[in-house]
Amino acid sequence: MPPGLKAKDSNGVWKETQDSKIDTLFNKPNQFQNRIQFQETWINSKLCHGNTYVMKIRNNSGVITELRILDPEKVVPLVADDGSVFYQINPDNISGLPAQVTVPAREIIHDRFNCLFHPLIGVSPIYACGMAAMQGKHILESSAFFFKNGGKPSGVITIPGAIDAEKAKEIKNNWDTGYTGDNAGKTGLLSGGAEYKPITMSAVDADTVEQQKLSAEMVCSAFHVPAYKVGVGDTPSYDNIEALEQQYYSQCLQVLIESIELLLNEAFELDVRKQVELDISSLLRMDSERRMKTLGEGVKNTILTPNEARKKENLPPVEGGDALYLQQQNYSLPALARRDASDNPFSTSSSQPTVQPDEPASKALSDSEVIAMKAMIRGMIAK
């Protein structure tokens, strides 16, 4: 999820903007890590320890040039008598500090959650699921030792009377050689009253798998991760990739992502019209069929221009694609309000006045008509 800087324009719309210093930090936060490694370390520290400490490295001009994630076990929050917060950092090669130092809170980005006992000390979700994790660990260790020692015997051979150790060892070796491994399933022959008794799995043994599943589900619950994401739960039956990823985002990732965004806003001292935003479009990306349908509806309903829809698919703009399109039969709300305010809003006749067509121009007179007209005019004059 690449971070980006956005600014609010005069219409209140957030648009991407550029800042060379901040963009450089986004791409290469420090000399040890790239963007992906930096984000991974940030999240791992917060989930495993409940706290992430990021130290700002500044140049002589006071401009932030690096962001370095510290070892959470080597940082101690301190509170002065006047309420000021400081952080004591023990020697750490990553931080570049050869000796213990104490720095003010403005030089540290402190991301924390589950602050159960102190507002400056976060607690890992492991605190809530530690017992379940230990139970699963012991179950796996027990199974590992069990199978390391050959597993549970499928049965035992009983012989009437007493036999010495050598005879018992001989019978066991003969059985293992003739009827186990590649020879498993062959018909066994016993003599001297010997009897083979199979051992069935007990109810406790059969419940081991369910116990492991329960332990895994409890750990997932503490971290707010859907169980099917780690392979221990049933995948939802509905076929909608976007809905599944939206559930994962809102249930698990949203609080982590928004915490990072807010803390980076504070670290860079951005004003209220600028903000850092992680691009989650790849996380919530729909399947191709639903994506095309959604973009088509956006263009059809004048929410997106064709070029904006094409940009989301990483396609170049086309001529005339920066305009919004709407069908002719759609009416504005004021027009509908005027119609409803009329005497008969349900009338199908047009309220526009009928414009009568102009009378066609008189036809030109023929030669005979002209002569007759002249004679009539002369007669009228003579009288």
Evaluate the CA torsion angle 34, 283, 113, 82 in order and state its sign: positive
**Mean pLDDT rounded to a whole number for the chain:** 81
So what's the pLDDT on residue 74?
Answer: 93
So what's the pLDDT on residue 353?
Answer: 56
Lowest average pLDDT, out of 65-79, 87-101, 161-175, 296-310, goes to: 161-175
> What's the Rg (C-alpha) of the chain?
41
Under the banding of pLDDT at 50, 70 and 90, the label for residue 86 is very high
Evaluate the CA torsion angle 127, 253, 264, 94 in order and state its sign: positive
Angle at 21 between CA 20 and CA 26, to 5 degrees: 95
Q: How far apart are CA 106 and CA 75, in angstroms?
A: 15
Q: How far apart are CA 135 and CA 251, in angstroms?
A: 25
More confident position, 232 or 204: 232
Under the banding of pLDDT at 50, 70 and 90, the label for residue 76 is very high
Q: How far apart are CA 52 and CA 88, in angstroms?
A: 14
pLDDT in tens, 133-156: 888 888 888 777 766 655 555 667
More confident position, 349 or 274: 274
> In sequence order, which residues have a C-beta less than 8 Å from that of residue 380 and are 6 or more positions away?
none
Q: How far apart are CA 191 and CA 187, in angstroms?
A: 13
- Does the pLDDT value for residue 272 go beyond 90? no
Average pLDDT, stretch 96-101?
86
Under the banding of pLDDT at 50, 70 and 90, the label for residue 50 is very high
Question: Tokens in use for 250?
Answer: 């809102």
Q: Which CATH number fits domain 3-123+249-281: 3.90.1150.10, 3.40.140.120, 3.30.70.2200, 3.40.605.10?
A: 3.40.140.120
- Does the pLDDT value for residue 286 go beyond 90? no
Average pLDDT, stretch 259-271?
92
Give alpha helix (H) positions in the chain: 20-27, 35-49, 126-148, 165-179, 203-206, 208-223, 241-248, 254-267, 288-300, 306-312, 333-340, 367-382
Transcribe 15-70 into DSSP letters. EE---HHHHHHHH-SSSS--HHHHHHHHHHHHHHHSEEEEEEEE-TTS-EEEEEEP
Average pLDDT, stretch 35-45?
94
Transcribe 345-370 into DSSP letters. TT--S--SPPPPPPPPPPPPPPHHHH
So what's the pLDDT on residue 146?
Answer: 67
So what's the pLDDT on residue 357?
Answer: 57
So what's the pLDDT on residue 118?
Answer: 93
pLDDT in tens, 317-350: 888 888 887 776 777 777 778 888 887 777 666 5
Average pLDDT, stretch 239-255?
83
Choose among 258, 289, 283: nearest CA to 113: 258
Query: Half-sphere exposure of 259 toward its Cβ, with a 13 Å CA cutoff?
Result: 19
CA-based end-to-end distance of the chain = 107
Work out the number of other CB atoms within 10 angstroms of the CB of residue 300.
12
State which of 7-11, 61-65, 75-79 shows the largest mean pLDDT.
Answer: 75-79
Side chain identity, residue 92: D
State which of 161-170, 211-220, 252-261, 274-283 shows the largest mean pLDDT.
Answer: 252-261
- Does the pLDDT value for residue 17 go beyond 60? yes
Average pLDDT, stretch 63-87?
93
Q: Structural domain boundaries of the chain?
A: 3-123+249-281, 127-151+202-233, 154-199, 287-321
What pTM value is reported for the model? 0.67
For residue 277, CA distances in Å to 42, 57, 263 come to 16, 22, 11
